[in-house]
């Protein structure tokens, strides 16, 4: 029924209990706990009898096999490239001035959204990642963040506090177009019998997949939500983000309001600033109108350069510092809470919009 290639690391505890029956449930919990601690083989599961470890080795794989490449930026950013059997997937470990670390995870190889300013979108869509491949990014980034203590993690029955404080699902792909596998992966990461990661420290970013926002509101998990808005000018948004053609802003806002009505909490509106394109006074005014009635903050992200990106025949460029400052001021005068995000990891193509199948 099962085979050696069934990977356990992406399975929520309930699924693992069913798969391993007729083994008693406590054995599944023991295995789940060992996976959470970071083991990569059954031989490291020293809480199980040797005979059981040997039997499991013939039937299952603990974690998906993947080659890895690590690129380290001078600003402390780390880009991880995981080479699964048929695709390469990139994720990022970010550190702030307090050395708090954030894991940025991918949910797809490539991206179907096709945003013209994003390297991942330009690469096209290859496939969805399964839950074990999504979770594997977190396991690997945690190991990188805590290399000096990885043996302590593996050998502890109650792993020490995680070295990663936040997760943002903002890497390659559109998360809400792969919500089933993402939900399974987050169940593994947040389970109190495993990694115990707080759901309130996880943010999912979407380009406006209304059906996915509704699914998240109805079925959870209760994580934070960010909308990659870019512009609230409907015509411009459709030209910059082809996925918006079938999801008008009116429906996107309605989905966000339903999400908040069901207890989803404050949302973040993200705007990638493109020099001379979406930084006009009328863009600020339109964004303020869109935000009205929402419990929302705004993140401004000056475009991170990617060679060869064009919009309507002209090369895309980053906004001038004054252009960014003026746009931020206009939003603040409209009563919005605004944060300016500067792109870390540009030198290793690890900043927002720079992740792609081709990497340095």
Mean pLDDT, range 214-242, rounded to an integer: 97
Mean pLDDT, range 82-106, rounded to an integer: 92
Given 61, 92, 107, the domain boundary residue is 61
Distance set, CA 338 to CA 225, 255, 360 (Å)? 16, 22, 33
Say what the pLDDT of residue 359 is.
46
Are 133 and 105 members of one domain?
A: yes
Residues 6+ apart with CB under 8 A from 333: none
209, 79 in Cβ contact below 8 A? Answer: no
The CA distance from 91 to 35, in Å, is: 20
Mean pLDDT, range 226-233, rounded to an integer: 98
The CATH number of residue 263's host domain is 3.20.20.70
Task: Using pLDDT thresholds of 50, 70 and 90, give the confidence band for residue 330.
Answer: very high
Are 233 and 292 members of one domain?
A: yes
300, 341 in Cβ contact below 8 A? Answer: yes
* Tokens at 305, concatenated: 């350069």
Mean pLDDT, range 284-307, rounded to an integer: 97
Is 228 within the bounds of a domain?
yes
Round the average pLDDT of the chain to a whole number and report it.
93
Please provide the distance, in angstroms rounded to a whole number, between the alpha carbons at the two ends of the chain: 42
Mean pLDDT, range 269-280, rounded to an integer: 98
Given 46, 61, 76, the domain boundary residue is 61
Total Cβ atoms within 10 A of residue 213? 27
Distance set, CA 254 to CA 119, 208, 213, 220, 250 (Å)? 29, 11, 10, 18, 6
Number of domains in the chain: 2
Which letter, b or e, does each residue of 164-183 get, where b requires 16 or more Cβ atoms within 10 Å of its Cβ?
bbbbbbbbbbbbbbbbebbb
Are 103 and 52 members of one domain?
A: no
Mean pLDDT, range 351-360, rounded to an integer: 73
Is 356 within the bounds of a domain?
no
Task: Using pLDDT thresholds of 50, 70 and 90, give the confidence band for residue 87.
Answer: very high
64, 8 in Cβ contact below 8 A? Answer: no
Q: Is 206 helix (H, G, I), strand (E, B) or coil?
A: strand
Are 35 and 163 members of one domain?
A: no
The CATH number of residue 19's host domain is 1.10.150
Is 164 within the bounds of a domain?
yes
Given 21, 40, 61, the domain boundary residue is 61
Is 153 within the bounds of a domain?
yes
Are 174 and 300 members of one domain?
A: yes
Query: Residue 219 pLDDT > 50, yes or no?
Result: yes
Is 45 within the bounds of a domain?
yes
Task: Using pLDDT thresholds of 50, 70 and 90, give the confidence band for residue 360.
Answer: very low
pLDDT for 108-145, tens place per residue? 999 999 999 999 998 899 999 999 999 999 999 999 99
The CA distance from 320 to 275, in Å, is: 7
Are 183 and 42 members of one domain?
A: no
pLDDT for 161-189, tens place per residue? 668 999 999 999 999 999 999 999 999 99
Say what the pLDDT of residue 155 is.
57
Sign of torsion over alpha carbons 315, 316, 319, 324: positive
The CA distance from 334 to 262, in Å, is: 27
* Tokens at 342, concatenated: 């500067």
Are 52 and 90 members of one domain?
A: no
Mean pLDDT, range 277-299, rounded to an integer: 98
Q: Which domain holds residue 40?
A: 6-61
Question: Which helix H or strand E contains 154, and what residues bound it?
Answer: helix 150-155
Rounded to 5 degrees, φ, ψ at 162 are -70, 140
97, 226 in Cβ contact below 8 A? Answer: no
* Tokens at 63, concatenated: 């974690």
What positions carry a catalytic annotation?
90, 352
Q: What burial class does residue 288 get, using C-beta atoms within 10 Å of its C-beta: 0-12 exposed, 13-18 middle, 19+ buried? A: middle
Query: Residue 301 pLDDT > 90, yes or no?
Result: yes
Please report, rounded to a whole number, the percentage of residues in the chain having pLDDT higher than 70: 94
Say what the pLDDT of residue 99 is.
78
Are 54 and 150 members of one domain?
A: no
The CA distance from 41 to 44, in Å, is: 6
| Dihedral in degrees, nearest 10, Cα atoms 267, 273, 274, 276 | 120
pTM (two decimals): 0.93
Is 275 within the bounds of a domain?
yes
Task: Using pLDDT thresholds of 50, 70 and 90, give the confidence band for residue 96.
Answer: confident
288, 294 in Cβ contact below 8 A? Answer: no
The single residue listed with the structure tokens 């089933």 is 180
Are 197 and 127 members of one domain?
A: yes
Are 295 and 158 members of one domain?
A: yes
Q: Which long-range contacts (CB under 8 A, 24 or more apart) does 157-165 make?
A: 157/33, 157/47, 159/36, 159/37, 159/38, 159/195, 162/195, 162/197, 163/101, 164/93, 164/101, 164/102, 164/103, 164/138, 165/100, 165/101, 165/102, 165/201
The CA distance from 327 to 334, in Å, is: 11
CA-angle at 122, arms to 118 and 123, nearest 5°: 120
Are 197 and 250 members of one domain?
A: yes
Query: Residue 1 pLDDT > 90, yes or no?
Result: no
Is 255 within the bounds of a domain?
yes
pLDDT for 24-83, tens place per residue? 999 999 999 999 999 999 999 999 999 999 999 999 999 999 999 999 999 999 999 999
Is 358 within the bounds of a domain?
no
Task: Using pLDDT thresholds of 50, 70 and 90, give the confidence band for residue 304.
Answer: very high
Are 155 and 223 members of one domain?
A: yes
């Amino acid at each position: 029924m099962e085979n050696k290639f069934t990977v356990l690391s992406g399975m929520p505890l309930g699924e693992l209990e069913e798969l391993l029956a007729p083994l008693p449930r406590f054995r599944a919990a023991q295995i789940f706990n060992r996976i959470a601690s970071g083991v990569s083989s059954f031989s490291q599961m020293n809480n199980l009898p040797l005979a059981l470890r040997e039997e499991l080795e013939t039937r299952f794989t603990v974690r998906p096999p993947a080659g890895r490449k690590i690129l380290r930026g001078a600003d402390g950013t780390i880009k991880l490239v995981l080479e699964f059997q048929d695709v390469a997937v990139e994720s990022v470990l970010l550190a702030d001035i307090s050395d708090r670390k954030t894991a940025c995870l991918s949910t797809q190889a490539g991206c179907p959204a096709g945003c013209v300013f994003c390297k991942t979108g330009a690469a096209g869509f290859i496939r969805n990642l399964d839950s074990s491949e999504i979770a594997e990014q977190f396991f690997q980034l945690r190991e990188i963040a805590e290399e000096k203590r990885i043996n302590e993690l593996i050998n502890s029955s109650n792993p020490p506090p995680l070295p990663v404080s936040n997760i943002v699902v903002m890497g390659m792909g559109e998360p809400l177009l792969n919500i089933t596998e993402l939900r399974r992966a987050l169940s593994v990461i947040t389970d109190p019998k495993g990694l115990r990661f707080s759901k309130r420290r996880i943010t999912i970013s979407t380009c406006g997949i209304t059906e996915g926002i509704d699914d998240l509101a109805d079925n959870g998990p209760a994580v934070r939500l960010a909308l990659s808005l870019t512009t609230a000018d409907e015509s411009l948004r459709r030209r910059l983000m082809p996925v918006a053609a079938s999801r008008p802003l009116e429906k996107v806002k309605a989905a966000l309001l339903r999400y908040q009505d069901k207890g989803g909490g404050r949302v973040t509106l993200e705007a990638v600033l493109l020099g001379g394109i979406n930084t006009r006074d009328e863009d600020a005014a339109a964004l303020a109108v869109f935000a009205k009635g929402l419990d929302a903050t705004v993140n401004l992200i000056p475009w991170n350069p990617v060679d060869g990106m064009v919009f309507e025949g002209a090369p895309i460029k980053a906004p001038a510092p004054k252009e960014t400052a003026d746009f931020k001021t206009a939003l603040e005068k409209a009563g919005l809470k605004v944060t300016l995000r500067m792109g870390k990891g540009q030198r290793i193509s690890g900043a927002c919009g720079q992740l792609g199948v081709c990497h340095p």
